[in-house]
Amino acid sequence: MISEPRADLCAALAADLTGLSYTSARLRALWGVPADAALGRGSAHPARAALHASNDPVALVARLFWLGDPVPADALAPVMPRTGIDGLGQLGLVESDGELVRPRAMIRPQAYVDDAGTGEWWIASDLDELALGGSLPPDHVLGVGGASMTLAGLQVPVPGGSVLDLGAGCGIQALRARRAAASVLATDVSLAALRYTRFNALLNGVDGIDVRHGSLYEPVAGERFDRIVSNPPFVITPRKEGVPAYEYRDGGLVGDALVQQVVADAGRHLTAGGIAQLLGNWEYRDDEDGLDRVRRWVGESAAAASGVELDAWVIERERLDPAAYAEMWIRDGGTVPGSPAFDELLGAWLRDFADRGVSEVGFGYILLRRSVAGNPPLSRYERIAHPIAERGLGAHLAAALAAHDRQAALDDDELATTRLRVADDVTEARHHLPGAADPSVIELRQGGGFARTVTADTGLAALVGSCDGDLDVGTLVDAIAHLLEVDAADLRRELLPRVRELLVDGILSFVE
């Protein structure tokens, strides 16, 4: 566990790491593509072999802070001239007996890309299973994982304002939020996690991030924020003796109640127009669909905020049966599949799901927005299981919210007077039966965003294909109705609701 961070030592360490070029690209070049792929599978052996064979000073630091291996003190001291081994010890990052230096924490470079550009942070966290060689301790502070990067990419890049990072962990969401926000308040039930958040902010020279200790919204009672971001401890863990409860992923409540509480209390902590974004799991029970459960939680959040309207956009990305879900998270804790301990934990998980009537568990993204008075609410609950490129999703969500607001403020007659343009990443595919003159299926395919495939009839395909910004929607519909020999008013009633959906999807956009 690291110590309370000192600004001077963090600055010295940052200078040493900069001088070494301790970056993701440098490390990948040192250990090579096959080793990088092996790390993704949880195997450090190829990378370890490559680093031990290298005389590059950055390889020595990577052995210590990336892989968690001890290194010779006399070799480390010259490559950390500003911090020194003593300084690393004062920060709580290492311990040394004078001959070997052993890590007490990981420090790994983490590259990022957002609307403001590219960059890289160093992210410190507790030693992971690669370094420990076994199961994680319950108070483990997690580094940057796949879920962390997903949520970071989803963050809506709204400039200025205040952000609450609920359950900050190592502080990666706070760092990402601070790229656009004026200030960030990070909370966590773990004091160690808050130390890592402070340390990582200082190490990367990021100001404007404050921390408070406490569970969920307790540290911010009565306060409101322009944005809330949370990767909460959403994993559904049996409340049984012998089943470890990891602080970084387990909120201590039964089933999906932790995510329910985060959602249900979000509305009262948002300013007008404020946005909350989180990841979560939700259960499918005998009597309730998973997305219907989340819909009910959103209603509870609106009620808790004195009836304030809440926009909701919930996207389920994955659904697992109880066995697959349990196996995934047991492995995540470092327990080896096939071992007696693994089988015992799996049995406890499956009994818990069976006792509570859980048939499946969903995972996905939740976006809530405290509606501005007069705006019709957004209510989207959908399943998107196909692969998507998560880069740029935050900007896509921001554009989708703006498009929803603009089209919702227009009645059909007003919408018909607007000029629209089809997005540059949209293509059309037509499928014909052998020998048929007309297509049996027409698809509009989106390259970016959520990579949607929209099935279109001839009229909708013609309208989308004609949206080049020159003529208004009404004129285009009338012309298409003439060509198809159908009633123009009927075609307008049919197409305008689809146009509204395509605007929110980002397949069409308004011409200014």
The structure tokens 């697992």 sit at 320
In terms of domains, do 18 and 81 share one? yes
**Secondary element (H or E) of residue 453:** strand 453-456
pLDDT of residue 217: 96
Flag whether pLDDT at 305 surpasses 90: no
Average pLDDT score over residue span 291-311: 85
pLDDT number for residue 130: 81
Q: How many CB atoms lie within 10 A of CB 419?
A: 16
Assess if residue 456 is contained within a domain. Answer: yes
Does residue 440 sit within a domain?
yes
- Residue range 496-512: mean pLDDT, rounded: 96
What is the mean predicted confidence (pLDDT) over 303-325? 89
Together in a domain, 224 and 360: yes
Q: What percent of the chain has a predicted confidence (pLDDT) above 90?
A: 81
> Are residue 317 and residue 418 in the same domain, yes or no?
no
Tell me: do 416 and 496 sit in the same domain.
Answer: yes
φ, ψ of residue 400 to 5 degrees: the values are: -65, -40
Model pLDDT for residues 236-294, shown as the tens digit of each residue: 999 988 898 888 888 889 999 999 999 999 999 999 999 999 999 999 998 899 999 99
119 Cβ contact partners less than 8 Å away, ≥ 6 residues apart: 111, 112
The residues facing 454 across adjacent strands are: 444
- What does the alpha-carbon distance between residue 462 and residue 486 come to, in Å, rounded to a whole number? 14
pLDDT tens profile 5-34: 999 999 999 999 999 999 999 999 999 999
Tell me, yes or no, whether 338 lies in a domain.
yes
Could you tell me if 84 and 163 lie in one domain?
A: no
| Strand boundaries in 267-340, DSSP class E | 270-285, 310-320
**Strands in 88-172 per DSSP E:** 94-96, 100-103, 106-114, 117-125, 162-166
Whether 84 is covered by a domain: the verdict is yes
Statement to judge: residues 355 and 476 lie in one domain? no
Residue 298: give the domain boundaries.
135-385
pLDDT at 136: 82
Are both 363 and 423 inside the same structural domain?
no
Q: Give domain status of residue 58, yes or no.
A: yes
Same domain, 168 and 309: yes
C-alpha radius of gyration, the chain, whole number: 26
Over residues 195-234, the pLDDT tens digits come to 999 999 999 999 999 999 999 999 999 999 999 999 999 9
Contact (Cβ atoms closer than 8 angstroms) between residue 448 and residue 397: no
- Among 64, 85, 105, which residue terminates a domain? 105
Q: Domain total for the chain?
A: 3
Q: For residue 2, is it within any domain?
A: no
Output the domain CATH number for residue 453.
Answer: 3.90.930
Q: How far is CA 68 from CA 124, 247, 339, in A?
A: 12, 21, 25
In a shared domain, residues 379 and 436: no
Confidence of residue 1 (pLDDT cuts 50, 70, 90): low
Q: State the burial class of residue 231 (Cβ atoms within 10 Å of its Cβ: 0-12, 13-18, 19+).
A: buried
Instruction: Give the Cα separation of 250 and 245 in Å (integer).
Output: 6
> Which residue among 385, 401, 431 closes a domain?
385
Q: How far apart are CA 210 and CA 163, in angstroms?
A: 11
What confidence score (pLDDT) does residue 373 get?
66
Q: Are 68 and 131 in contact (CB under 8 A)?
A: yes
Task: Give the pLDDT score at 7.
Answer: 96
Within a domain: 405: no
Asked if the structure places residue 397 within a domain, the reply is no
Q: How confident is the model at residue 493 (pLDDT cuts 50, 70, 90)?
A: very high
We report the CATH number of the domain holding residue 284 as: 3.40.50.150
- Among 228, 226, 302, 232, smallest CA distance to 268 is for 302
Q: Is the pLDDT of residue 341 over 80?
A: yes
Of 385, 419, 441, the residue at which a domain comes to its end is 385
Answer yes or no: do 286 and 354 share one domain.
Answer: yes
Q: Are residues 340 and 470 in the same domain?
A: no
Residue 305 and residue 380 in one domain: yes
pLDDT of residue 129: 83
Mean pLDDT of the 352-358 span: 96
Backbone angles phi, psi at 440, to 5 degrees: -85, -25
